[in-house]
Amino acid sequence: MANWQQKTLHPNIKMIAFLVISFFVLIGLLLFANKQFYALEMASIQEKASQRLSVYQNALQASIQRFEYLPAVLANDPRIQKALLSASADTTTSSLLSNINNRSGADEIFVLDSAGTTIGASNYLTKTSFVGQNYSFRPYYQSAAKGEQGFYFAVGATTGKAGLFFAEPVIVDLEIIGSVVVKINFDALEANWSQSGEKIWISDERDIIFLSYDSRWLYQGLRPLSLQESQHLVETKQYGDHEIGILESQQRNDGTAIVSLPLTGNQVLFRQQMPGVNWHINWLYATQQIETAVARSVYSIVFAYLILIIAILWIRERVKNAQSQAKLATLIAQRESHQRAIIEGTDAGLINLTHDGKTTFVNPQAQRLFRLKTNALPDIKQLIKGWRGVHASLEAIDATGIRSDGSTFPILVSSSAIGLSDPSDYLITIHDVSELKQAQYELVKNNDELEQRVHDRTNELRAAEKELNHSQRLASLGRMSSAIAHEINQPITALSSYAASSELLIQRNQPEKVLSNLKKISGLIDRLSYISRQLRMVSGKRNTGLSNIKLLPAIHYAQDVLASKLAQAKVDLVINVDEQFCARGNSMMLEQVLVNLLSNAIDAVAKVNHPQITIKGSYSDSVLLVVEDNGIGLSQEELPHIFEPFYSAKQIDEGLGLGLAISYSLVSDMGGQLTVDSQVESGTQFTIKLTR
């Protein structure tokens, strides 16, 4: 017992030790790989950042260069120089600047005299006109007053709108008499950044953000300001009344910085100096994305390592299986010896076959059943009539046994594999079922007699049923004919109306309206063709073909079809349905329902003094379409039967009683409900409820 335990535990201890060592190796590998992958990811992102920053830098420079020439051109314009020499503000100069501004696409253009006072501006007609305003405190004016080109980004002191100001001195006879200022904005550029999803900042020499993909970060500093810098912002009003906040950031050894943004998390900040100006273009990349990419690479290492461990374990198991096969072969031999002892002592006939059908053993019971000589090994086909092989009798089947003297007897045969080798040997099990078959024969005979009596009675019932079905089919045929006649009556009525209308229009020489009627007639012919294919009994199923449909076109169709009938009855038809009302349904089916309801409503108001029909719609959880009239109404006794086929409150020659039954069926097929509410002498209201 002790030796067995030692042999069993020894491989398990080795396996546990192997797994523990593998685990620590994996931990060390992950620690090393994490640093390497992080460095590779950062290098890749830095290269990507350099490319992105160059692209956005070029776009910004292109926006600036588009207007950089304009102040110099205007400074040499004689009209501008004349206005400055006269030193007076007039609308002629402002009108000129307004026209130039509209053509150039700049934000604003204005002219300052030598003291920094505006004598003309493109926005002179607005409430925030620059005319009369003094901007001598602005650095762009101060640069122009020195004979230099002014270049300055600031929030407008008058308008409160941020923009880039270009200033050019106006020089006449070597004397600076004023300056021309062009202001441009970058709203379109910022909108493009925001829509593209790129996180771009532009910061000035004090690291204050003045252009951003997100307005939340405007006028935020990336570092604390010195006292001198703060004083300069107050004096020049560069960013208006905006308070300069400080974003939390941390510089890193690789030249980047980590910026913590509220609600958006930590971002890696990549920076690049713009040539020609003291601005920085900044690109942000979420640290979460870097960590995710690194984690994905680490997971791939873990997966590959696990695959390696699994492969090692699989090879180990294969070796162990090979060792087990030898032991298993010994056990199989022992089991087959035991099986043979059982076979020889059983009461069933047993025959052992090889995979190719050769008989290798016949037990004593099989010898008695087939009257074989001792040690005889006949072909199985000589013992079982119509033998089809071992695979055809895996389950017990009926067969006929053939004895050695030629006599036959009924048997039950089954087979099963008895070896673990491939191909296996098979054991054929045989039972004599002569007595069972005799009992079955008697039972079948009695069943046949009973079935004959049932058959005779069934024939009698079928004859009676055939006669009843004949009567029902005749009744159904009559109803179907009536339903089809009712379904096509409305399009035919409309065809007649359009034909009569066309005759009048031809007499009036109005061919365009005749053409319109012909198109409607063609549509009605298509509708008749559709009805001839699709119309079924009221109780039958329809192919709804549901979709989102507008309600108003179906109402106008019904109004069109019944136009002559409405005019003849002098009915005031009020339609109160929004053009945008939509529902889930079928346009053609809804049109047919509305034609039926509107036609019934016209008949109902025929005898009132001021006939009126109202069609109105409303939205709630569902879409409601109401057809309401002020007609004679229905009694409470009539209401429960109003949707029954062939029930009608009209005279016999005025209707078949199918219109409302068909309408009810059509609305149900569209997944909706059709309900009615009516009072005698107070009118009737039909409500169609459809899914939104």
Q: Is 613 exposed, middle or buried (0-12, 13-18, 19+ CB in 10 A)?
A: buried
Whether residue 160 lies inside any domain: the answer is yes
Structure confidence by residue, pLDDT tens digits, 651-661:
544 555 667 88
Q: Which CATH number goes with the domain that contains 120? A: 3.30.450.20
Reported as a single tens digit per residue, the pLDDT across 240-268 is: 888 888 888 777 766 677 887 876 778 88
Highest mean pLDDT among 39-48, 129-138, 312-321, 405-414: 129-138
Contacts of 116 (CB under 8 A, 6+ apart): 134, 135, 136, 137, 138, 141, 145
The DSSP bridge partners found for residue 625 are 617, 688
Of 502, 535, 568, the residue that ends a domain is 535
Cα 200 to Cα 113, 266, 329, 572, 649, distances in angstroms? 38, 15, 75, 65, 77
> In angstroms, rounded to a whole number, what is the distance separating the alpha carbons of residues 626 and 325?
84
In a domain, residue 42? The reply is no
DSSP 604-658: HTTTSSS-EEEEEEEESSEEEEEEEE-SS---TTTGGGTTSTT--SS-GGG--S-
Residue 471: inside a domain = yes
Predicted TM-score (pTM) of this structure: 0.42
pLDDT in tens, 343-384: 666 778 788 778 777 888 888 887 788 888 877 778 877 888
Q: Which of 405, 430, 455 is the last residue of a domain?
A: 430
- Structure confidence by residue, pLDDT tens digits, 182-230: 999 988 888 888 888 888 989 888 889 889 888 888 888 888 888 998 8
Asked whether residue 110 falls in the same domain as residue 127, the answer is yes
Domain housing 92: 69-185
Boundary residue ending a domain (185, 220, 251) = 185
Q: How many domains does the chain have?
A: 4
Based on the fold, state whether residues 607 and 682 are members of the same structural domain: yes
Asked if 417 and 523 sit in the same domain, the reply is: no
Residue predicted with more confidence, 655 or 451: 451
Tell me what the mean pLDDT of segment 292-301 comes to: 73
478/472 Cα distance (integer angstroms):
10
* Same domain as 528, residue 516: yes
Please identify which residue in the block is written with the tokens 């009694």.
Answer: 635
If asked whether residues 574 and 530 sit together in one domain, one would say no
> Is 291 or 569 the better-scoring residue by pLDDT?
569
- Higher confidence at residue 636 or residue 464? 636
Alpha carbon separation from 492 to 483, 505, 530 (Å, rounded): 15, 20, 14
- Assess contact for 467 and 390: CB atoms under 8 A: no
Average pLDDT over residues 410-437: 76
Q: What is the average pLDDT score of the chain?
A: 81
Percent with pLDDT over 90 in the chain: 21
Whether 560 and 684 share a structural domain: yes
In a domain, 83, yes or no: yes
Task: Identify whether residues 560 and 683 lie together within a single domain.
Answer: yes
**485 C-beta neighbours (distance < 10 Å), count:** 12
Q: Is 269 helix (H, G, I), strand (E, B) or coil?
A: strand
Q: Which amino acid is at 17?
A: A
pLDDT at 33 over 80: no
Rg (Cα) of the chain, in Å, rounded? 50
Higher per-residue pLDDT: 657 or 81: 81
Residues 521 and 591 in one domain: no
> Taking the chain, what is the end-to-end CA distance rounded to the nearest angstrom?
79
Same domain, 372 and 463: no
Residues 437 and 426 in one domain: no
Q: Nearest to residue 686, comparing CAs of 668, 663, 666, 670? A: 663
